[in-house]
Structure 1
Amino acid sequence: MTPVVWHTVFEVLAYSAGFQTYLWQRRRGVDGSVHDRDLMAVVAVGAIVGAALGAKMSYWLDDPLTAFAHFPDWRHLLEGKSIIGALLGGLLGVEVVKRFWGVRQSTGDNFVLPLTVGMCIGRIGCFLGGLGDHTYGIATTLPWGVDFGDGIARHPTQLYEIVFLLAQYAWIRARWHRFTLPGDRFRAFMIGYLAFRLLVEFIKPVFYIWPLGLTGLQWLCVAGLLYYARAVPRIVQTMVMGRKATWARR
């Protein structure tokens, strides 16, 4: 199969596996699972719409010269996407819908394992997608550098991300019952992933530079980390120090 086909196959598998993992959690009554069908539907709609819009808009921000090269040809604007934008867009979509419907229950913890599973599978597709996927790293002399087809050994950043996601989930799972506030497991997932992507983007090709020498995706990571800034000390205490946070949520 061609790299494009491989990428498509694993992208479909990622969505399917993530959704099935979500349903599996509900059947087993995992802590934090949403059991109200109406609430689940509302959350799902907000997440899907927000993620779809965020994924596309983050591509426009990260590589505007390519995205708008043939403007106003709208088809060209739909070509790229980013998981960072999807995560932040999905988060925004859920929060907007919950506020509109008056939902106070935290729902984020439901998505930690499904997102981990789906993103790991999706990154396998990105790795097999080669140069056309634009998720590879810059050139490296390290022994595990990978030639994606241009004769240059590059950082396999897709594999770095898989290793990070699996390690992060194992760390969160080991401290699962130490999280005292609903939603803190998801906050830990997001804070960890955004920090990882902020750093790993420094060893990936740059398509467009924004202020302070950061890429569009890095600025999105910064925005996401600022959104969670108040929760960071509490999450760090739980994750790193291995004990329950003692202060109330603000």
Structure 2
Amino acid sequence: MYPTLGDLLGTDLPVPTHEFFVGLGVLCALAIFVVQARHTGQTDERLLYVVTGALFGGAVFMRLGTWLQDADLRTNATLVEQWLYGNRSILGGLVGAWLGVHVAKRLCGYRLRTGDLFAPAVALGMAVGRWGCLLTELPGTPNSLGFGPVLDEATAQRLGAPAGVALHPSFGYEIAFHLIAFVVLWSVLRDRLPPGESFVLYVAGYAVFRFLVEFVRGNEVAWWGLTRPQLFLALTIPLLLARVVWQARRGTYVLSPRRREVAHSTR
């Protein structure tokens, strides 16, 4: 594990690895967002407020998304303690960013759908940011297939994992998923779906993937053999899939001749 970039690069640079890659992921996401906004002709200055809402909501919910650990509220950390020392939650961050976008759009009066701007941006940002998790956090559960990172005694004890055995590189799986999603959203689905639908498909796909990868992530089992992220996803996945099925039955995902023409012209 490499808690600082100094450990990773063989220097004395005391830059936290996790924070560095999260910040780099945000910068990559912003760059893709700008390129996509220009590509679609959405250059309204109010988009700045929309992006600010996404960043603010994502940051708040990422920090506070894991606050509720016990039904007895007295046993949970205070909000200040959670903000300073609590675990970060990617799922909480996505929910917060989604809420932040909608609140910002309502406040500034921006009516156009922005899902097509955020989908590839979030996918690439997640692929980059997850490197921080891969290099600093518990990789996953023991891998019977024999491949994956092997921890020494000291690191294994610090992370609460077995030493000397191959562990599932669960964050590596997630990086691969988001990279593939970015390629599909950027090269295959770009301009080929109705406005906003690419984000719905991306989030639905990630929700299903995340539910499955949780089985090898190594998070604490909370109830019915499921982790807390899985319990959250067990409630949200049916809603997401129901919306996708409903839209598909309405013909939403059938390309119109005009959108096909636009899609071919942007290759």
Considering the TM-score relative to the shorter chain, is it more than 0.5? Answer: yes
Q: CA deviation at 1:139?
A: 0.9
Q: Could you list the runs of 5+ residues in structure 2 that have no partner in the other structure? A: 5-15, 157-162, 257-267
Cα deviation code 1:35-77 (max 9, x no counterpart): 1002x1221232122212221232224x559xx8784483354
For 1:230 and 1:94, how far apart are their aligned partners in 2? Answer: 22
Cα distance, 1:56–1:233 mapped onto 2, change above 3 Å? same
- Between the aligned partners of 1:226 and 1:102, the Cα distance in structure 2 is 31
Which residue does 1:248 correspond to in 2?
A: none
CA apart distance, 1:158: 0.7
Q: 1:216 pairs with 202, 212, 228, which one?
A: 228
Partner Cα distance (1:222, 1:30) in 2: 36
Q: Does 2:212 match 1:199?
A: yes
Q: Which has the larger radius of gyration?
A: 2
Residue pair 1:13, 1:122 contacting (<8 A) in 2 also: yes
Alignment of 1:109-120 (within 5 A): 109-120=116-127
Structure 1 segments unaligned to the other structure (5+ residues): 246-250
> Following superposition of structure 1 onto structure 2, how do residues 139-178 of structure 1 map, counting pairs within 5 Å?
139-148=142-151, 149-150=155-156, 151=163, 152-172=165-185, 173-178=187-192
Residues 1:43 and 2:50 aligned together: yes
State the partner residue of 2:200. Answer: 187
- Deviation (angstroms), 1:157: 0.6
Distance (Å, rounded) in 2 between the aligned partners of 1:78 and 1:25: 35
Give a deviation string over 1:120-149, Cα, whole Å, max 9, x none. 1111121111xxx24x21111223221244
Q: How does 1:1-250 map to 2 (within 5 A)?
A: 2-4=2-4, 5-26=16-37, 29-31=38-40, 34-38=42-46, 40-61=47-68, 71-72=77-78, 74-79=80-85, 80-129=87-136, 133-134=137-138, 136-148=139-151, 149-150=155-156, 151=163, 152-172=165-185, 173-179=187-193, 181-210=194-223, 212-233=224-245, 243-244=254-255
**CA–CA distance in structure 2, aligned partners of residues 235 and 122 of structure 1:** 31
- 1:70, 1:195 → 2: CA distance? 28
Residue 243 (structure 1) shift: 4.7
CA 1:88–1:72 in structure 2 vs 1: closer, same or farther (change >3 Å)?
closer
CA contact (8 A) 1:46 1:96 kept: yes
User: Against the structure 1 CA distance between its residues 100 and 23, is the aligned structure 2 distance closer, same or farther, given a 3 Å change threshold?
Assistant: closer
Q: Is the 8 A contact 1:34 1:110 kept in 2?
A: no
Partner SS, residue 176 of structure 1 = coil
Q: TM-score, normalised by structure 1?
A: 0.78
Q: How many residues align?
A: 230
> Percentage identity across aligned positions?
30
In structure 2, the CA distance between the partners of 1:235 and 1:174, relative to structure 1 (3 Å rule), is: farther
SS in 2 for 1:13: helix
Query: 1:73/1:215 Cα in 2 relative to 1: closer, same or farther (>3 Å)?
Result: same
Q: Which moved more, 1:183-192 or 1:227-236?
A: 227-236
